[in-house]
Amino acid sequence: MIQIREKNDSENWDNILSSFYKSLTSPLDGMWDELIHSHGQLWGIYNEDQLIGYCSKDGDGNLINFFLEEKYSNFKTELFKRTLFMLETRQAIVSTNNPDFLVVSLDRSKKMNVHSYLFENEKEVEINKPVAAEGLDFGLATDSDLNNLIDFCQNNVAADSNWLKGYLERLIERKEIHFLKNGENIIGSCEIRESLSQTDFADLGVIVDSTFQRKGIGSWLIAKAKEIALANGKTPICSCEYANLGSRKMIENAGFSSNNMVLKISF
């Protein structure tokens, strides 16, 4: 009998997760990967005591992943219906590069909106340092830069301060964040987050001080991040929200193209 029950922390899910990543048509965005597997509420799908699939729900009640081993695909439609009932959700957030989850979601969809764009590196481009960045220093962030980086991020993005501190400490420790400075003032930052689950890839992210936006600094920073990722033997990927036209243009200017997107689907 097939059952769906909440994940036990003592269970080893390495095999099922490996199967899931292999089922994707392109890499899973790092932010969504972390949300699904580290912060989401995970439920296992079992045939007797054998783990044959899983699903995940976020804190807002959205279903954010559904996966079933291929040999059990004939149960997919019925198990997806049961998952929606058991997890008490009527919405899903699904990437188009996750075909199994996408198909069962579209089959039951009543409304759909684009949530985010997913980008892959398409071509090499050369972006000269913009005039607004001339004379500014670009370098790797160290422990002594932590407080300055926290202030910079809080001034330019909406983020919880406690979460932000831990997040930036991890980036600094792993040497995954660089910045552009004018003296002690941070003008922009770029992240090159090497994936722990998809080890061939690195997620890129850029923040530019609001007073220096639309001056070409963002495109230059993401091009620098791409250069660092490639030098480290990683394939760069990135994403941006649907409504953020400035970020989309910045990313495309650096040689990326969006072949997939994240959809929000209502049932």
Domain annotation covers residue 113: no
pLDDT digits (tens, 9 = 90+) for 63-77: 999 999 999 999 999
Query: Looking at the predicted structure, is the pLDDT value of residue 163 above 90?
Result: no
pLDDT in the model for residue 178: 98
Query: Looking at the predicted structure, is the pLDDT value of residue 161 above 80?
Result: no
Whether 91 and 152 share a structural domain: no
Query: Looking at the predicted structure, is the pLDDT value of residue 172 above 90?
Result: yes
CA dihedral sign, ordered 61, 22, 252, 234: positive
pLDDT in the model for residue 189: 97
SS3 20: helix
pLDDT in the model for residue 160: 78
Neighbour order of strands in the sheet with 91-95: 2-6, 41-47, 50-57, 63-68, 91-95, 256-266, 111-121, 235-241, 201-208, 185-194, 177-182, 137-140
142: which 2 tokens?
Answer: 């160290």
Domain annotation covers residue 263: no
Q: Which structural domain range is residue 235 located in?
A: 120-258
pLDDT digits (tens, 9 = 90+) for 109-137: 999 999 999 999 999 888 888 998 898 99
86: which 2 tokens?
Answer: 């058991």
Domain count, the chain: 2
* Percentage helix, strand, coil for the chain under 3-state DSSP, each rounded to 5: 40, 35, 30
Whether 168 and 212 share a structural domain: yes
SS3 156: helix
* Residues, the chain: 267
Q: Are 239 and 117 a contacting pair, CB within 8 Å?
A: yes
pLDDT in the model for residue 103: 97
